[in-house]
Amino acid sequence: MSEPLLDVEGLYKAYGQHLVLRNVNLAVDRHEVVSLIGASGCGKSTLLRCINLLEEINAGQILLNGEPISAASPNADRVRQRIGLVFQSYNLFPHMSVLDNITLAPRKVRGEGRAASEGEARKLLARFGLADKADEFPDRLSGGQQQRVAIVRALALKPDLLLLDEVTSALDPEMVGEVLDIIRELKNVGMTMMLATHQMAFSRQISDRVAFLDAGRIVEIGPPEQIFDAPEQERTRHFLERVLSTAP
């Protein structure tokens, strides 16, 4: 058994006096899809932001390919190139065309030429049904299209790991499907992903493992059948009862 792609060990994260993550331990293998579920404020997003090194952690460590990445080091920028993060609110750059949004990092961070990176970007856009949007500006796109562009932007750096932070939460219901389809396709091609989500049905369908977080701890982690059909923990059962009883 080779080492996991991502290994989170004893992670603690606090904002001021408020402890948001407590002793989080989690390993993600290559080509694995792990989803994080739990009530708002349970620490899902914070965990993803910590893994992307957007937040400094207070204790513990994070390893990528066995290499510790969480210690303060000037290589954080290099690590982030290997870990893509897609945000709930898309966060596209409004002053750039779709093509420039996607090629900015390959050109400025990787030093790729404009022609090469734009060729790659157009190929990716075509694959996700966005070929005709390359020269549009973000505010001309629907929410679903913007989020798909945001995913393409993260993929342009060919990351080892893709983090998706509630990527459908800000979307109108009829646009959720097109974004979930992309995530399904990425699973099919073997992309390693961690996603924080409120979409229980989708999480069950796409995940190899599901982690339930409550008050900053991973309460229970296991295959979707275990978490959704036979949760071992009382708190997991309670959460799912509440969520599924109000689900459409």
Interface with other proteins (CB under 8 A): 52, 54, 77-78, 80-81, 84-85, 87, 89, 91-95, 104-105, 108-109, 153-154, 157
Choose between 65 and 89: whose C-beta lies nearer to other proteins: 89
CA-to-CA distance for 246 and 232, rounded, in angstroms?
Answer: 22
Choose between 92 and 130: whose C-beta lies nearer to other proteins: 92
Choose between 71 and 247: whose C-beta lies nearer to other proteins: 71
Nearest distance from C-beta of residue 154 to other proteins, angstroms: 7
Nearest distance from C-beta of residue 196 to other proteins, angstroms: 15
Nearest distance from C-beta of residue 232 to other proteins, angstroms: 34
Nearest distance from C-beta of residue 242 to other proteins, angstroms: 29
Using H for helix, E for strand and C for coil, what is the string for the chain? CCCCCEEEEEEEEEECCEEEEEEEEEEECCCCEEEEECCCCCCHHHHHHHHCCCCCCCEEEEEECCEECCCCCCCHHHHHHHEEEECCCCCCCCCCCHHHHHHHHHHHCCCCCHHHHHHHHHHHHHHCCCHHHCCCCHHHCCHHHHHHHHHHHHHCCCCCEEEEECCCCCCCHHHHHHHHHHHHHHHHCCCEEEEECCCHHHHHHHCCEEEEEECCEEEEEECHHHHHHCCCCHHHHHHHHHHHHHCC
Choose between 47 and 218: whose C-beta lies nearer to other proteins: 47
Choose between 104 and 243: whose C-beta lies nearer to other proteins: 104
- The residue whose two tokens read 């979707």 is 224
Nearest distance from C-beta of residue 184 to other proteins, angstroms: 23
Choose between 21 and 83: whose C-beta lies nearer to other proteins: 83
Nearest distance from C-beta of residue 74 to other proteins, angstroms: 9
